[in-house]
Amino acid sequence: MDRDLVFAKTEQGKAAIAERSRDLSAKQRQLLIMIDGRKRLRDLFPTFDETAIARISGLYNSGLISADQPLPSFADAMPKPDPISAPTATSASPLRVSSIPVPAKLANLRRILAMCSQQYLDDELDMMLMDVFDQLRGPGDLQFCLDQWLSRMQASQPSSVTAMYVGQVQSLL
């Protein structure tokens, strides 16, 4: 994503701030207030990482902000790691997303990710769940969420715990 992009609030975004008519997290509301049609992304985010992209994408996908050019999907906006020096969970992931599951299965997937975030990951995934998972634009965004969840679980939990949840997630895909 171009760090020189400038976003502006849409009429819907202005109304969401004025009327508090949307269920926005505190971080989303704060970012929406800061977006003024003049500041570049680099001005809004001192470090530009997946959380920054997720927050901007969430507001953009909800129609609360606009840009002078269309944004790619969240997964496409992420910087691509060097495949030799930094293998990702996607390359060896047992979780392959080919399509978005039906709503009931998607809701169960979200419950599993949210529970793991709370119980095992010190709420590390909460922003991703609100800004990416809840605004899915396609299978690539879901794959990104699952890869983030899996890599964090593998890094912090015994393999038996991670494997149990991977099995549950696989049954929903």
**Digit-coded pLDDT (tens) for 102-114:** 999 999 999 999 9
User: The whole model's pTM is what?
Assistant: 0.52
Span 62-73, pLDDT tens digits: 888 888 766 655
**For residue 33, what are the CA distances in angstroms to 40, 114, 135?**
14, 27, 20
Whole-angstrom Cα distance, residue 68 to residue 154?
39
Task: In whole angstroms, give the CA distance from residue 100 to residue 18.
Answer: 34
What sign has the CA pseudo-torsion 59, 60, 62, 63? positive
Under the banding of pLDDT at 50, 70 and 90, the label for residue 52 is confident
